[in-house]
């Protein structure tokens, strides 16, 4: 009897082990994706990506050299030497609200006399400009169409270097096209300190500007904006405006018609000041005369340690802290001057637009 029990237990153990293996394999198959690739993400996001065609009227003077001579001006006016022609350009956009709001790049619709939006279903409609923000190169359009599908928006702050992304747009006017890549870097500074781009190696070509950069869930992480190239062609370095920045700009453009940002009136040094291994702060290079910082007593050479209780670790963060302050509200600063830490408070004003 004892010998029989000795033989039965290994058999039972083997059967149980087999059942367990079958259950584990079945569970793994159930949790695995049904297919590889990006098709599901593309299908989800592409329904919200539109093509944008702009037209502007350009006045040219074929006989400009001849007509610049004052002696010939009267003759040129009689002949009607000036000619008007239509200049067309193209880009992409993203439907961000079901009531017809579309985000794109400001440079896509710059100086346009007419803006035509082509929807994924093949229909077209005219668009009006709600507002533009030159500092981030964003523009918000409005179209009057029903049954629009707004894109789902992800938190671009959560995107990590190495994450796969997809660029969807209208390169060279070919129609909706998808390219794939990864996030190559974050926080790339553009023409202004407020342009903090996501860098990717997903191909972005002329016509892609204003289109969507999405994650593998088909959610928006950026608005495709530009490329870095020494030849004019794509060379593997593309830039997108983070979705978090884009949505903040959109909300201001809808509610105010412009982006409301606080302004202190200082220029920070690009390189942070380091204290030990981890602590950094920003150095004031220039103070705008009669600006808020000047009136508060900020001097060139001051080192700003914090702004409204938040660490001013570098130029990007310090500028962001300032722009978040509503005009008319206080900007409280801890400032290192020489060997002393002092506290100064300025009153923010509206940040001027570039060129003002």
What is 286-311 written as a DSSP string? EE-TTSHHHHHT--TT-EEEEETTEE
CA distance 112 to 126: 12
6 dihedral zone (left: phi>0; alpha: psi -120 to 50; beta): alpha
Tally the C-alpha atoms within 13 A of residue 205's C-alpha that lie toward its C-beta. 14
Q: Which is catalytic among the residues 209, 238, 243, 306?
A: 209
Secondary structure (3-state) at 269: coil
**Residues forming a β-bridge with 139:** 104, 132
**How close are the terminal C-alpha atoms of the chain, in Å?**
99
Residue 204 and residue 224 in contact, taking contact as beta carbons nearer than 8 Å: yes
Q: Which is catalytic among the residues 48, 92, 137, 201?
A: 137
Q: Which is catalytic among the residues 107, 133, 156, 321?
A: 107
Residue whose structure tokens are 């039965």: 8
CA distance 233 to 219: 27
| 137 in catalytic set | yes
| 209 in catalytic set | yes
* Distances in whole angstroms, Cα of residue 193 to Cα of each of 47, 319, 348: 33, 7, 18
CA distance 281 to 262: 20
Residue 260: what are its φ and ψ, rounded to 5°?
A: -95, 115
**Which tokens hold the place of 255?**
């509610």
CA distance 176 to 317: 36
| 123 in catalytic set | no
210 dihedral zone (left: phi>0; alpha: psi -120 to 50; beta): left
**Which tokens hold the place of 244?**
């978090």
Catalytic residue set: 107, 137, 209
């Amino acid at each position: 009897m004892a010998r029989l029990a000795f033989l039965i237990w290994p058999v039972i153990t083997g059967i149980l082990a087999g059942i367990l293996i079958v259950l584990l394999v079945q569970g793994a198959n159930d949790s695995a994706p049904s297919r590889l690739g990006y098709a599901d993400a593309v299908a989800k996001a592409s329904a919200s990506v539109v093509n944008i065609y702009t037209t502007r009227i350009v006045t040219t003077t074929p006989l400009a050299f001849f007509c610049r001579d004052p002696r010939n001006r009267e003759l040129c006016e009689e002949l009607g030497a000036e000619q008007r022609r239509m200049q067309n350009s193209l880009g992409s956009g993203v439907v961000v609200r079901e009531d017809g709001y579309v985000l794109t790049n400001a440079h896509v619709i710059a100086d346009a006399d007419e803006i035509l939006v082509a929807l994924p279903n093949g229909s077209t409609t005219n668009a009006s400009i709600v507002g533009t923000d030159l500092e981030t190169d964003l523009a918000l359009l409005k179209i009057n169409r029903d049954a629009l599908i707004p894109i789902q928006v992800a938190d671009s702050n959560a995107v990590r270097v190495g994450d796969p992304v997809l660029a969807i747009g209208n390169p060279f006017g070919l129609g909706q096209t998808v390219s794939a890549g990864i996030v190559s870097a974050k926080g790339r500074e553009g023409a202004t300190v407020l342009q903090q781009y996501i860098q990717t190696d997903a191909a972005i070509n002329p016509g892609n500007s204003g289109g969507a950069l999405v994650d593998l869930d088909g959610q928006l992480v950026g608005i495709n904006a530009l490329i870095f190239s020494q030849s004019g062609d794509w060379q593997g370095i593309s830039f997108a405006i983070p979705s978090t920045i884009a949505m903040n700009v959109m909300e201001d453009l809808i509610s105010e018609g412009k982006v409301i940002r606080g302004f202190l009136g200082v220029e920070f040094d690009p390189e942070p000041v380091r204290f030990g291994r981890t602590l950094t702060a920003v150095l004031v290079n220039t103070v705008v005369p009669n600006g808020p910082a000047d009136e508060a007593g900020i001097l060139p050479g001051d080192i700003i340690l914090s702004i409204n209780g938040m660490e001013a670790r570098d130029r990007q963060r310090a500028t962001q802290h300032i722009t978040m302050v509503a005009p008319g509200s206080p900007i409280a600063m801890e400032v290192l001057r020489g060997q002393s830490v002092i506290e100064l408070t300025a009153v923010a004003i509206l940040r001027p637009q570039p060129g003002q």
